[in-house]
Structures are given as C-alpha cells and as structure tokens.
A and B are shown apart, each in its own frame.
Chain A
Amino acid sequence: MRRPEIEREIYDFVIANFLFGQTTDLEPGDSLLERGVIDSTGVLELVAFLEERYAIKVEDNEVIPDNLDSTGSIANYVNRKLSCVL
C-alpha cells in the first residue's frame, strides 16, 4: 500500500471516528491534539485501528505525539512500520 492511500484512509478514519463524519478544514499537518480532535480514548481507538488495519504492532514507546499527532505523521509512521515488516 502506498503512503498517499494510507494517509487517505487514516484521514477518513479520523473524520468518521472522531468528528462524527463532519468534513472540516482539517489539514494533513494539523495537530490532532491542538485542534482537540482526539481525546484520551481517541488515542487508544487510533492505535487499535492502526494495529488492525495495517497488521502492525504499535509499541508502548511509540505512542507519542511525534508519531501520531497528525494524519500526515501517522501515515509516515505506518509507512515506516510497514517498510520494516517487509
């Protein structure tokens, strides 16, 4: 799977799951924390989604804002993980 596709999927997941499907002006680089899109449960939901959808294991020490704070950074992170798996 290519990175733009991954990012699209993640963006759709974020919109459907955290914003009740309301399309907003959320940009790929926007901080999900700063914009209040994601709450404490949201992080856990996001991790569960990534593990399930991309068959990756998200390690505890990887659950940090650097990896997961925007749809762009999440896509980068997933891309890196998938490259490792391959």
Chain B
Amino acid sequence: MCGIAGLLNLNGAPADPRRLGRMISTLLHRGPDANGVHAVGPAGLAHARLSIIDLEAGGQPMSTADGRLWITFNGEIFNYIELREELLAKGHRFATRSDTEVILNAYLEYGEECVHHFNGQWAFAIWDAHDRKLFLSRDRFGVRPLYYTTAAGSFLFASEVKALLACPEVVAEIDLQGLDQIFTFWVTLAPRTIFKNIFQLPPGCSLTVEDGVLRIQQYWSVSYAEASDAHTANEDDLAEELFALLEDATRIRLRSDVPVGAYLSGGIDSTVTTALVRKIASDRLRSFSITFDDAEFDEKSYQEEASAFLGTQHSNVSCSSADIARIFPEVIWHTEQPVIRTAPAPMFLLSKLVREAGFKVVLTGEGADEVLGGYDIFKEAKIRRFIGRNPESSWRPLLLKRLYPYMQNIQRQPTAYLKHFFRVSPEDLSSPFFSHLPRWELTAKIKQLYSAEVRRATEDLDEFSEVERTLPAAFESWSYFGKAEYLEAKHLMPGYILSSQGDRMAMAHSVEGRYPFLDYRVVEFAAKLPARMKMKGLDQKHLLKKAFRGLIPDSIARRPKQPYRAPDGKCFFGTGAVDYAEELLSPETVRRDGIFDPQSVTALVSKFRTGRASSIKDNMALVGLLSTQILVNQFINQRKEGYDPCEGPKLNAKSTILS
C-alpha cells in the first residue's frame, strides 16, 4: 500500500521531477519505506512505497522492459498470482514477483479492459509513452483514494488532496455545494469533493487523458435485483455458498510478504474475518481493538471473548474523550473533509497501535453491514414501512424501541412522540430515498448554523435531486431493501466508512486495511440474495450468522447490533477542553472564516459548555462545525499565510530520484 501522485503537462512541456518530488513528499505517511519519481516527456509519476509484496524488486514507478508503459500503483491485486499464470501462458515475461508488474502486463494484454480481471483494491496511473495516453483507475468500491484536478495547463492526480495542494498553482477553496452535501449525506457526491475544482475519481471508474481530452468511464456497478429464483432459494445452500466465497476472499487477502494482523471489534463481522484467517493460516494471529473509557461505547468484554474463542494474541488501545479532542486536528488533516462524527479518531489510535506492534497489514470486517443487511438504517426502514401500512396502530411504533436499544433517548420516549418522530407519510413511502430520509433530514439541520452568506449561496441547492439524477435506470425496479443497500454502498461507504474512517486513518500510520466482505464476488452474490435472508424478521445479517454458526461465539452472533460509535461533541468541553476548539469556535474566528453564523455557533457551544447538549443533532452539528473550521484553518488559512504542505514530511534516506 502506498501513496501515488503524478501529472501530465497538457501543452507537452517536460514534466518537472522537482514538482513530482514536492507532491509525493506530502504522502510519505502512506509509504515510508521508499519513494521515487519518474518523468518521461510531458508525464511524471511519483510513488511512496509501503513494501508488502516482493520487498526487494517491487519498487515504483515501474516500467515495462521497453520503457513504453510506466505505472504508479497504490493497493493490491489479490488475484495477481492467477493472473500472472494466465499472462505467462499468453507469452508475457516478468522480471519481478510483484502485483504491480501484473497490472502492466494485463494492460498490455487487455488495454483499459484489464480492470475487469482484477480482484482487489487499487488506485493506479499508467502512462503510455507511445500513445501519449494517461490511464487512471480506481477499484470497484473506492477502497483506495484518487483525486485529480487541472491547474496552469497540467492535469494533476494523487492519493490525497494535500499532494495536489503542494502545487502552488492549485487553489484551495471550499466548495459550498460539497459542504452542503456533507451536511446532508455525510459525504460529497463523487466526483465532487469539499474543495472547489478538485475531484475524486468515483469508485468503479477509470479515467483517461489523451490529446488533452479527459474521459471518465464507469467499468463496474452492481445490480440489486433479486435473483429470479429468489423465492425458491434454499437458505442452507446459500449460507454454504456465502461461506465458501468469504473463505476464498480471505485466502487471497492473506497474500503478503509481511505478517498480516486482524482488527477484532467484538462484533460479528470482524469475528468472522478473524475466524477465517485462523482457519486458513495456522500460525498464531495477532488481533487489535479499541476500548473506550465510556461504557456506552465500550465492547471490551466481547473482544476478549472473541479473542479467547479464536485463540488470537490480542492487544487493545484505550480511547478517552480527551484523546479524541487531542488528536482531532491531526485526524482532520488526514480525512481532508469535514466529518460529523468523531468515530474516525479512535481508528487513528488503532492503526497507531498496529503499526507500533510491527504490522503493516490488517484484515477487517468493513463492508459486511452494507453488503449483508447489517445496518440499523435497513431495519429502521423496514419498521417504518410496517408503521406506514397502518399509521393509526398504537403498538407498531413500539417496535422502534427494539431498534435502538442502546439509545437512552429513544427508550425514554413516550409512545405518542415516538409515533411522530418516525411518522410515515404517503409521500415518504413513494420516495426513492425512503430509507434514508430520517438520516438526511436530521443531518441537514446542521445547516441552521450557516452564515447568512452561505445560506444565500446554498438556498437554491436541492441535494436530493442531485442523488436522484445519478440513480441507475434499474433502481426503480429494485426492492426497498435493495434501494437502501445501494444508497449506502454508493455514497456513505466510499465517502466516509472506507475513507475518513478507513483508508485515511489506517494510512496515517502506514497500515493497509483489507476487506474480505468487499471482494466483488461476495458483493455480487449478496446483492441478489432475497432481502428476507439478509434480514429475517428483524434479525440482521441472518445468512451470515447462519453460515458461521459454531465458528464464532454464540454470544457474539446473538448480541444486539451495536454500531461503532465514539463520544462526540462533549469531548471538546469540560475535562477534555482544548485551546484550538476555543479559538476556532470563537465569534471572531467564525466571523472571519465566514461559513457559520457566530451567534448560532455561540448558542451551540454554550449548550455544550453548560452540559445541556445531548441530542444527535447537537452532536453532529458541533463535530461538523469544528471539523470544518479545522479544515479551513489547515488547508486554506495556513496556506495563505505561507505554510507549505511539504514542510512536514521530508523525503527519507531511502529516497531514489530516478530521473
């Protein structure tokens, strides 16, 4: 796993290696083991390496023997061994055992279609010096990041925005529509980002720049139409098939020339992936987890139980509210976008623990909730539909208490109010976003904090229509469950779960996450399963539990779903109070930055200071507000004041300037 960057001068001028050096020097946290740049004509590629496969010969940028193709690659092609065999049989020759060289040869053999042959998580760029064509690709789910922009006659790309901002000609400015989207969906809708004129390549897409023309092509998407034989499908057979797919997905994700560890959160998903690793690899496995001082969020007892059951050597790192407040600015430096939960912060501490234990690679359970019906939002939608069919029923709303057993506010709620909060109108029922309306509408309340200027600039935006515009043609024909799964996997998963909470937090400490549930074979299999097998009654991930019965502790399979959460707004006040929050939320700073209304911010902050803030809305607003202020300060204000994003990390001793 690594960091990549590069550029193409559209006017044909030679690429400047020093410029590439500046770009890659901002990404050394992603690849501390070695780095290099290569300029060839108008194109230049840069690479910061985290050595995992073929430690000796896998250096990058790498070229074909004839020097025609050059590649910079971040990620893994897990089926590279099989692909290598196929390509050898077709007459290709290899100088290394790396998966990087497999990509090059696959591109020679299949051209842009090569991506269909890959099973993995990647972001790469290939420069074809003969055709003078730049080809970029990102994996199906957006596990690995890839950003791009054009500035001063150059096309620029990189794993992270900060590498683009290392080029002085790239302007850093908040994209207000991007902000408005985060304050609705928690993410921007790709290719949009929080920065104006800086874009992300959407998951499952490739991009080419040829003859000055930029073209984006979606090479993969998944259909959520249930299989035609869904009504007669046998649950036992499907559970067996799911098990076999996950086992193989795990097997190829253990391919590594360095040891692989596992995250073990105490939930079903990571217990399943850890159980599979134990089944496949006989050696003692190291597992890692976060514990919380606050019992509301802590899952330590389940983690210990899973570790004892699976015989792992387990380590954990404790996370307090004060820890979250302390590291939050660094967390935002890595997320490069506002967040409305602090949940990425503990993941930052976890990857640090993993790295300090000497591990570069971990397997985790990410993706299971999206793919196999685990999220509460799916269950909530099911109950709301049930209520919607008989809105007058007095007992149906009581089901909502079963939905959120860990939320005191809901448990204490009088039924009369519960009915109102989850009321379902006929318009709601016919909305394509039925499942997501409560979340999106609640999140959008953060916008009450906007300054008058931002309010005016965003008042005509209709973010729901923006999503509607991008829905696939078949969306309407999918079940309500498939629609909800699509929305979750299309937007929140790549934009937040795999990014702010995933890649960015792991790579902050040079750790690569691998996700067996996000093997495309698993996802394609799961997408066409009948909804009743993913959620039977209100039993989430029903088929997964069935497939792994006996292989994971019963208590973990049976425990109520506890979503991963961390203490939010209150971290920054009281005992955990931090100077930077005081400064960034002061009326003077808020007024200067212009995004939020100083009076409203003061009202919210005072609610936290006096211990009166407890609602989800207040917490989301505070974290969204503070992370935005941190982002503006780090990426815009400091840069205007002359701070150079390259100043932090320096090219290390193993640096090789190839040209």
* Chain A positions near chain B (C-beta within 8 angstroms): 16-17, 19-22, 33, 36, 39-45, 60, 63-65
Contacts A20-B449, A36-B441, A40-B409 aside, 10 further interface pairs with beta carbons under 8 A come to A21-B602, A39-B421, A40-B417, A41-B409, A44-B409, A60-B414, A64-B416, A65-B416, A65-B417, A65-B420
Q: Tell me the complex Cα distance, A45–B614, Å.
A: 9
Tell me whether A20 and B615 are in contact (CB under 8 A).
Answer: no
Chain B residues whose CB sits within 8 angstroms of the CB of A44 once the complex forms: 409, 412-413
DSSP class of B's interface residues: helix, strand, loop or mixed?
helix
Max chain B Cβ within 10 angstroms of own Cβ: one of A36, A39, A45: A39
Known: A39-B421, A43-B417. A22 touches B597 (CB 8 A): yes
- Nearest-Cβ distance from residue B411 to partner chain A, whole angstroms: 10
Chain B residues whose CB sits within 8 angstroms of the CB of A43 once the complex forms: 413-414, 417
Q: Tell me the complex Cα distance, A60–B412, Å.
A: 10
| Nearest residue, chain B, Cβ from A24 | B448
15 A–B contacts from the bound complex (CB under 8 Å): A16-B603, A17-B607, A17-B612, A20-B449, A22-B597, A36-B441, A39-B421, A40-B410, A40-B417, A43-B414, A44-B413, A63-B414, A63-B416, A65-B416, A65-B420
- Nearest-Cβ distance from residue B364 to partner chain A, whole angstroms: 32
Tell me whether B421 and A20 are in contact (CB under 8 A).
Answer: no
Q: Tell me the complex Cα distance, A44–B599, Å.
A: 24
Q: Tell me the complex Cα distance, A10–B617, Å.
A: 20
Q: Tell me the complex Cα distance, A19–B604, Å.
A: 9
Tell me whether A20 and B600 are in contact (CB under 8 A).
Answer: yes
Known: A17-B607, A22-B448. A33 touches B420 (CB 8 A): yes
Tell me whether A63 and B417 are in contact (CB under 8 A).
Answer: yes
Question: Which one of A20, A42, A45, A65 contacts B604 once the chains associate, using CB atoms below 8 Å?
Answer: A20
Q: Tell me the complex Cα distance, A77–B599, Å.
A: 30
Q: Tell me the complex Cα distance, A21–B604, Å.
A: 8
Tell me, yes or no, whether B445 is within 8 Å of chain A by CB: yes
Chain B residues whose CB sits within 8 angstroms of the CB of A64 once the complex forms: 414, 416-417
Q: Tell me the complex Cα distance, A40–B403, Å.
A: 14
Q: Tell me the complex Cα distance, A43–B415, Å.
A: 12
Which residues of B from 550 to 586 have beta carbons under 8 Å from A?
A: none
| Nearest residue, chain B, Cβ from A31 | B420
Tell me, yes or no, whether B498 is within 8 Å of chain A by CB: no
Tell me, yes or no, whether B621 is within 8 Å of chain A by CB: yes
Tell me whether A39 and B615 are in contact (CB under 8 A).
Answer: yes
Tell me whether A40 and B414 are in contact (CB under 8 A).
Answer: no
Chain A residues whose CB sits within 8 angstroms of the CB of B421 once the complex forms: 33, 39-40
- Chain B positions 398 through 437: 1 when the CB is less than 8 Å from some CB of chain A, otherwise 0: 0000000000011011101110110000000000000000
Q: Tell me the complex Cα distance, A40–B615, Å.
A: 8
Q: Tell me the complex Cα distance, A42–B3, Å.
A: 45
Tell me whether A22 and B600 are in contact (CB under 8 A).
Answer: yes
Chain A residues whose CB sits within 8 angstroms of the CB of B414 once the complex forms: 43, 60, 63-64
Q: Tell me the complex Cα distance, A64–B607, Å.
A: 25
Q: Tell me the complex Cα distance, A39–B417, Å.
A: 9
Tell me, yes or no, whether B616 is within 8 Å of chain A by CB: yes
Q: Tell me the complex Cα distance, A65–B597, Å.
A: 31
Chain A residues whose CB sits within 8 angstroms of the CB of B409 once the complex forms: 40-41, 44
Chain B residues whose CB sits within 8 angstroms of the CB of A39 once the complex forms: 421, 442, 615-617
| Nearest residue, chain A, Cβ from B617 | A39
Q: Tell me the complex Cα distance, A64–B416, Å.
A: 6
Q: Tell me the complex Cα distance, A16–B615, Å.
A: 14
Q: Tell me the complex Cα distance, A20–B420, Å.
A: 22
- Nearest-Cβ distance from residue B347 to partner chain A, whole angstroms: 26
Chain A residues whose CB sits within 8 angstroms of the CB of B607 once the complex forms: 17
Chain B residues whose CB sits within 8 angstroms of the CB of A60 once the complex forms: 414
- Nearest-Cβ distance from residue A36 to partner chain B, whole angstroms: 7
Tell me whether A21 and B599 are in contact (CB under 8 A).
Answer: yes
Known: A17-B607, A21-B600, A36-B445. A45 touches B420 (CB 8 A): no
Lowest 7 CB-CB distances: which A-B pairs, in order? A41-B615, A21-B603, A20-B600, A63-B414, A64-B416, A41-B409, A33-B420
Chain B residues whose CB sits within 8 angstroms of the CB of A20 once the complex forms: 448-449, 597, 600-601, 603-604, 621
Chain A residues whose CB sits within 8 angstroms of the CB of B615 once the complex forms: 39-42, 45
- Nearest-Cβ distance from residue B409 to partner chain A, whole angstroms: 5
Q: Tell me the complex Cα distance, A64–B445, Å.
A: 24
- Chain B positions 586 through 619: 1 when the CB is less than 8 Å from some CB of chain A, otherwise 0: 0000000000010111111001000010111110
Q: Tell me the complex Cα distance, A86–B603, Å.
A: 34
| Nearest residue, chain A, Cβ from B614 | A41
- Nearest-Cβ distance from residue A32 to partner chain B, whole angstroms: 10
